[in-house]
Chain A
Amino acid sequence: AQKITQTQPGMFVQEKEAVTLDCTYDTSDQSYGLFWYKQPSSGEMIFLIYQGSYDEQNATEGRYSLNFQKARKSANLVISASQLGDSAMYFCAMREGQTGANNLFFGTGTRLTVIP
């Protein structure tokens, strides 16, 4: 079974609007971490936001917020006030278990296009 599922291969959003990118995860661990990364067309991987499984508040970083619904095992990324520079691939990822030398499992990504 996939550990991370991103069901939206592509999304469009009007500039200045908000957009939600979906992510669901599958783990039996109690301790885990969820991440979102952005990959622009230039190819680098940019860390956006992190949510720990024990964090009670949703994580926020500037225009990014993570809508964490533990019971539904979802960790959606919300981007507010979209900008043209937000056009990129977005990956959801999960660290299973306690922090340590763990690898991250990535979803298949969502390509976001911001329309002027």
Chain B
Amino acid sequence: DTAVSQTPKYLVTQMGNDKSIKCEQNLGHDTMYWYKQDSKKFLKIMFSYNNKELIINETVPNRFSPKSPDKAHLNLHINSLELGDSAVYFCASSKMGDTGELFFGEGSRLTVL
């Protein structure tokens, strides 16, 4: 059973389109995250939700909108895609009160043409 699963794994789309990436975790964790890994492999936090509440919202264009329908799901919607949005997006989860270890999904590679 996959602990943190993201779909789709690959996304190729045109500039200006809107796309969504879905994430689900079955670990019973209460905190979920979106990280962006750029072409130089640098990983940076975008958003974090704890029990469906937004707690971290880094400097990310407001074209990116996370949604957490329940604590097991965190989706990422991106409007008006730009070339610079091309990256790998990782969903992750962690358990409050634990070490802070992140459990990552497999990543979703977004390519904007």
Q: Which A positions have Cβ atoms within 8 angstroms of B?
A: 33, 35, 39, 43-45, 47, 50, 52, 89, 91, 95, 99-106, 108-109
Contacts and interface: CB of A to CB of B under 8 A. Distances in A.
Contacts of B97: 99-100
A52 B98 CA distance: 11
Contact of A101 (B48, B99, B101, B103): B48
Contacts of A106: 42-44
* Interface bin, chain B: 20 to 34
A99 B107 contact: no
A50 B50 contact: no
7 contacts: A35-B101, A45-B104, A101-B56, A104-B45, A106-B42, A106-B43, A108-B41
Contact of B40 (A47, A95, A101, A108): A108
A52 to B, nearest CB: 7
A100 B43 CA distance: 20
Main secondary structure of the interface of B (DSSP, over half): strand
Interface in B4-23: none
Contacts of B56: 101, 103
Nearest to B88: A43
B96 interface: yes
Nearest to B100: A95
A43 to B, nearest CB: 5
A43 B98 contact: no
B40 A102 contact: no
A45 B99 contact: no
B40 A99 contact: no
Contacts of B68: none
B102 interface: yes
A104 B44 CA distance: 9
A91 B104 CA distance: 13
Contacts of B99: 33, 50, 52, 95, 99
